[in-house]
Amino acid sequence: MAKTTHIAVISIPAFSHQVSIVEFCKRLVHLHHHFHVTCIFPTIGAPLPATLTLLESLPSNINYTFLPPVNKQDLPQDVPSAVQIQLAVSLSMPSFQHALEFLLSTTSLEALIADPFANEALEIAKEFNILSYIYFPPSAMTLSVFLHLPALHQQISCEYRDHKEAIKIPGCVPVQGRDLSEHFQDRSSLDYKLILERCKRLSLAHGFLVNSFSKIEEDSERALQVHSRVNNSSNNSRVYLIGPIIHTGSSNEPKGSECLRWLESQKANSVLYVSFGSGGTLSQQQLNELAFGLELSGEKFLWAVRAPSDSADGAYVVASSDDPLQFLPNGFLERTKGRGFVVPSWAPQTQILGHVSTGGFLTHCGWNSALESIVLGVPMVTWPLFAEQRLNAVLLAEGLKVALRPKFNENGIAEREEIAKVVKGLMVGEEGEMIRGRIEKLRDAAAEALEEDGSSTRALYQFGTQMESFVGHS
């Protein structure tokens, strides 16, 4: 019988990252039965209720601990949520070090797996002489961009959004500077300083576990393998595409039952699902334009609507308690009754995307949502808001060609006529039909990647065996 292999995993205080890393841990211990994982969570204030629900169903060989909370009032209030999260993680590093010391003294801890936004932990792992890896929740293309940021920083002197030519990164779709990650867009900002430090620190990792699969990112995977061998300080550094890892949620979500019942009465592929993820928010002006655009399109829709905010990630750390329905245009609900269904704040996303009536998904392009749409074969309208979502939109619309991307005006607003045109194009247009055919092929490829002999299952198995062989020779 194989001896137990202990692994520590650290995430960040953002549910989209936590859910991805927990689902990864479940898959890891399912494939490697003798692995035991301890998940370590920095927190801002109390743990997120959704996180506590997520942790209720862990198998016996995964346990977890919350680090002492960082007080939100101790963080700068005038910075984006992403910066607050990164600063909170940095403040939690002494507590993390104590947690790692405890695990080292009580178990045969052999490796650490860190979220890329908690990669100070790689330096601590190096001090303790244990193997360290990055679990990368976004795409392989995004990882490639992150790994190349230090070089881009030297090569391009202006703001990336002002750079005239497309930026070419090995293995990736050419990207306009304005479509690079939100964190890159202001070189004088604390956000940029933090992300540049984190990108430089990635070279400390012994390998990267990426939530993607070979069929959709073959070129990026190949380029990453080359980059990793040439540039990483850790010998034998490898890149493993081990996705798609998605969270299916509970099958008996009471809050979702009403909208699911409504879907039951609709025709196949007739409904556009509209959602901006666990934290995305629109301004009041954009909320109005989206409502009028959906109305103007004449198509059926199911919209998980959130209260507006001037910050695109306004609900990422703390959600508004306001009733979002009061912010919709006057008479909108009455005029679209029967054709549209509006859900306040939250909806059971994977159940909706998996429903036969759902024919399209207007999404903020968070990678979790993009993968769910691919796994369930639903064509997309891309509406990126923050983080690396514009990169994802480029990959989905221009690389994989499984999405349509609306045009935004000079003020950054998608106007109602444009929204209506794109929605109709996806739901009933010829281009939408071609997109549906392509994404159904990717759906099948995603399922194949996760089969017993699929590319992602093989990659995750190789990660476990190679990690143990490194431990054996260290």
Catalytic residue numbers, as ranges: 17, 115
Both structure tokens of 117: 């936004």
Burial class (CB in 10 A: 0-12, 13-18, 19+), 470: middle
Query: Of 156, 32, 128, which Cα lies nearest the Cα of 474?
Result: 128
Cis peptide before 244 (omega within 30 of 0): yes
Contact 283, 412 (CB under 8 A): no
Region class of 365: left (phi > 0), else alpha (psi between -120 and 50), else beta: left
Say how far apart CA 428 and CA 433 lie, in whole Å.
7
Helices within 38-189 (DSSP H only): 49-54, 81-91, 93-106, 121-127, 140-155
Residue with tokens 């989209």: 16
Do 112 and 8 meet the contact criterion of CB atoms below 8 Å apart?
A: yes
Q: What is the rounded CA–CA span in Å between residue 358 and residue 366?
A: 19
Task: Copy the structure tokens of residue 171.
Answer: 């293995």
CA dihedral sign of residues 379, 382, 383, 387: positive
**Nearest 5°: phi and psi at 62?**
-125, 125
Strands 207-210 and 238-241: parallel
CA-to-CA distance for 412 and 363, rounded, in angstroms?
Answer: 17
Integer Cα distance of 185 and 177 in angstroms: 8
Name 349's Cβ contacts closer than 8 Å, sequence gap at least 6: 249, 273, 275, 304, 369, 372
Chain length of the chain: 474
C-alpha 254/C-alpha 247 separation (Å) is: 17
Q: CA nearest 61: which of 33, 25, 36?
A: 36
